[in-house]
Amino acid sequence: MNERRLLLGNEAIARGLVENGCAIATSYPGTPASEILAAVAYFQKENKLSMHTQWAVNEKIAFEIAYAGCQTGLRTAVSMKQVGLNVASDPLMSAAYMGIKGGFIVISADDPGPHSSQTEQDSRLMAMMARIPVLDPDSPHQTKEMIGMAYAISEEYNTPVMLRPTTRVCHARQDIELDYIPQNGREVKFEKDPTRWAATPRFRFHLHKALEEKLMAVSQHAPTEPLRHNPEATSSKAIISSGVAAAHSREIIKELNLWQQIPFYQVLQPFPLHTQFIEHVINAYEEILVIEETMGVIEMQLADRHRVKGKMTNAVPRVGELYPETIQDIVSQFVGIQSEKLEIPFATGRRPTLCAGCPHRASFFAIKKAVKKGIYTSDIGCYTLGLNLGAVDTVLCMGAAISQACGFYHAYKRQKKRPDIVATIGDSTFFHAGVPALVDAVVQNVRFVLVILDNRTTAMTGSQPTPASGLGPCGEPLEALDIKTLVRGCGVKFCEEGDPYQIKEFTALVKKAVKYSREHGPAVIISRYPCIIDAARKEEKAEYIPVEITEDCDGCGYCIKHFECPALLYHEDEDEKFVSIDRILCTGCGVCLNVCPKGSIVEKK
């Protein structure tokens, strides 16, 4: 018998890729997809596979690299989170027209909830827009199976195929049977075909026509037909579901003793929905309930409106994750049985905050000291939490800290009073989408300060390397880019580095940059200090400065409000207010020594 291993959904996807001979896998990190590439790299190392794995600078680049790989006949894949697909949508739309040579899978992980994303968008709608087939797995086990199905569809119909897992699939663990990994033996051969690979609009018309024909054929593809799980059930009301919602529904229908009664279908390929299936369900049932995340993609393809219930009829909530208890309610209502409304009380915890000792906190504190009233644009990363410190006013999408700073500058530049503008962006995000925006700021001579928070890693998604790290996903050495050289290369004349832990000097540096920017144009500061979580993981030791709070602390709460280090604890009882240090959380960074206006936080002698 084959080995069974407990695998995360994302690890099962990775396993499916290597078992199906994927030769190039690329990605840009983003929750809930980040573990996919790391796991491919793990299997690559474990089994000494000859393949290329890469963290690309952003999702668009990742997509294009993997796509070119498939143009040479290799099987390849690119993975990302759903908002990453927005960045990669340009090559996606075009690649759909051109098709593939080796199998090509686009893995886009959705985040209903959302648990850690800007939006709850449904990647299946992107697949519809691009006109490519999409598969919707219900479990880690099924993700692995679907990788094989996806490569088969891709190569049979000459099209990229999307796999759309959701957070609950990516982050569940299941016992998975490991199959054999073939050593890749495909020939690498790029065959020139300019009317396809470099098609002009006239040829694009023909490619579009061919694409629609492919989709018609995929909608008859037998291996991905919807599963009819309980042929014995014959009610005139049927339930259709897909993804993890189908996994919840199946269990609930059984537990409500409706399995013998209510026909249950699981859709594997929400787009294109199988034409025969559409005909069958519309003819066979009086009422159809569709349960899916996050938008009504299956629902909108079932044309007969008055029989179909779902998101569009408000039978299923339109926003948020579909928890199993919600599905239990929906199913009970549809069938007309009583069900107790159940909910888990909401956790009242502390709001999320930057870690104790996080260098970002020091940078934000210095920025607020140097620029009391400014506009603070920021970006996607741990440092978004700078909003707790009042140092983040805007967060739009990757890289927008810089372009929004430009927009604010242009909006205010003819006004008498112009606010100072300070943008903050992480190192990985700067590489991802900040560089073109900085070029624009230089050309337009935008007067603002950009603080690049360089903690030498992609911290929020679990410490993946950045282009400045000089490391690949297997830990192999790569070329390391120098941020300062890059900034200077963009044409920025003021670019200085500072250590945010040296908070006095760093505050002075921000002041200097602001002064420069008011008169001359963009000023960039690179705030250098490694992420403490990442440093701890690498067992790098930093200096430990023991701090204590003196008797003089009157509990004014300034440090709590303006610095919010989780290691600073506020106490309040009838006759006393004071602050103490949590010795377990405190990393001894010593930054708070400069925070208390009364000097009550001191170094312990």
For residue 548, state whether it binds ligand SF4 (rule: CB under 6 A): no
Contacted entry of ligand SF4, other proteins, none for residue 328, CB cut-off 5 to 8 Å set by kind: other proteins
> CB of 355: closest distance to ligand SF4 in angstroms?
8
Distance (Å, whole) CA 218 – CA 210: 12
Strand order in the sheet with 287-291: 227-228, 264-267, 237-242, 287-291, 308-309
Q: Measured between alpha carbons, how far is residue 139 from residues 12, 119, 136, 247, 377 in Å?
A: 9, 23, 9, 7, 39
- Assess 556 for contact with ligand SF4 (CB under 6 A): yes
C-alpha closest to that of 159 among 135, 139, 188? 135
**How large is the C-alpha radius of gyration of the chain?**
27
Nearest Cα neighbor of 219 from 150, 269, 145, 185 is 269
35/59 with CB nearer other proteins: 35
The answer to the question of residue 554 lying near ligand SF4 (CB under 6 A) is yes
* Sheet with 523-528: strands ordered across: 394-395, 374-378, 420-426, 449-454, 523-528, 494-498
457 binds other proteins (CB under 8 A): no
Q: By CB under 8 A, is residue 81 in contact with other proteins?
A: no
**Of residues 350 and 416, the one with the C-beta less far from other proteins:** 350
Comparing CA positions, the residue from 447, 439, 361 lying closest to residue 405 is 447
Number of residues counted as binding other proteins (CB under 8 A): 40
Task: Output the CA torsion sign for 151, 153, 158, 164.
Answer: negative
596 binds ligand SF4 (CB under 6 A): yes
CA distance 603 to 605: 6
Q: What is the DSSP string of 388-421?
A: GGT---EE-STTHHHHHHHHHHHHHTTSSS--EE
Which amino acid appears at position 113 of this protein? G
- Give the contacts of 95 (CB within 8 A, at least 6 positions apart): 63, 67, 104, 160
Which of ligand SF4, other proteins, none is residue 138 near (CB under 5 to 8 Å by kind)? other proteins
Q: Which does 252 bind (CB under 5 to 8 A by kind): other proteins, ligand SF4, none?
A: other proteins
Compute the C-alpha angle 318/321/327, nearest 5°: 80
**Single residue of 213, 251, 496, 505 touching other proteins by CB under 8 A:** 251
Query: CB under 5 to 8 A by kind: which of other proteins, ligand SF4, none does 592 bind?
Result: ligand SF4
Please report whether residue 591 would count as binding ligand SF4 according to CB under 6 A.
yes
Residue 333 contacts which entry, ligand SF4, other proteins, none (Cβ below 5-8 A, type-dependent): none
- Running DSSP on this structure, what letter comes out for residue 213? H
| 359 in contact with ligand SF4 (CB under 6 A) | no
From the list 119, 598, 603, 604, which residue makes contact with ligand SF4 (rule: CB under 6 A)? 598
- 581 forms part of the interface with ligand SF4 (CB under 6 A): yes
Distance CA 49, CA 257 (A): 48
Give whichever of 93 and 585 is closer to other proteins, judged by the CB atom: 585
**589 binding ligand SF4? (CB under 6 A):** yes
Pick the piece of the chain touching ligand SF4 (CB under 6 A) from 27-35, 61-69, 248-256, 580-588: 580-588
For other proteins, the closer CB: 76 or 174: 174
| Pick from 30, 115, 118: nearest CA to 384 | 118
Q: How far is the CB of 253 from ligand SF4 (least distance, A)?
A: 51
Q: Are 409 and 447 in contact (CB under 8 A)?
A: yes
Q: Which of 244, 300, 331, 391 binds other proteins (CB under 8 A)?
A: 244
- Map tokens 């009391």 to a residue: 372
Specify the residue, 256 or 553, whose C-beta has the smaller distance to ligand SF4: 553
Answer yes or no: are the C-beta atoms of 241 and 302 closer than 8 Å.
no
The count of C-alpha atoms lying within 13 angstroms of the C-alpha of 372, restricted to the half-sphere facing its C-beta, is: 0
Closest separation in Å from C-beta 469 to ligand SF4: 25
Q: Does residue 172 belong to the site contacting other proteins (CB under 8 A)?
A: yes
Taking the complex as a whole, how short is the minimal distance between the CB of residue 506 and ligand SF4, in angstroms? Answer: 14
Contact flag: residue 209 with ligand SF4 (CB under 6 A) = no
Residues 6+ apart with CB under 8 A from 200: none
Nearer to ligand SF4, 401 or 589 (CB): 589
The binder of 568, among ligand SF4, other proteins, none, by C-beta within 5 to 8 A per type, is ligand SF4
Distance, CA of 604 to CA of 524 (rounded, Å):
36
Pick the stretch among 37-45, 52-60, 162-170, 500-508 that binds other proteins (CB under 8 A): 162-170
Q: E strands within 268-397?
A: 287-291, 308-309, 374-378, 394-395
CA atoms 365, 466, 567, 542: torsion sign: negative
Q: Which stretch binds other proteins (CB under 8 A): 100-108, 287-295, 339-347, 506-514?
A: 339-347
| Binding mask of the shown chain, residues 568 to 587, with x at each position contacting other proteins by CB under 8 A | -----------------x--
Q: Please tell me whether residue 361 binds other proteins under the rule CB under 8 A.
A: no
Q: How many CB atoms lie within 10 A of CB 536?
A: 15
| 377 near ligand SF4, rule: CB under 6 A | no
Of the pair 340, 551, the CB lying nearest other proteins is at: 340
| Interaction between residue 558 and ligand SF4 (CB under 6 A) | yes
Coil, helix or strand for 272? coil
| Partner from other proteins, ligand SF4, none contacting 520, C-beta within 5 to 8 A by type | none
Q: Which of 257, 259, 256, 332 is nearest to 291 (CA)?
A: 332
- Please, which residue, 439 or 602, has the CB nearer to ligand SF4? 602
CA distance 130 to 214: 13
468 binds, among other proteins, ligand SF4, none (CB under 5 to 8 A by kind): none
Binding site for other proteins (CB under 8 A): 4-6, 31-32, 115-116, 138-139, 167-169, 171-175, 244, 247-248, 250-252, 323-325, 328, 340, 342-345, 347, 349-350, 352-353, 355, 566, 585
* Residues making contact with ligand SF4 (CB under 6 A): 356-357, 547, 549, 553-559, 565, 567-568, 579, 581, 586-592, 596, 598, 600-601
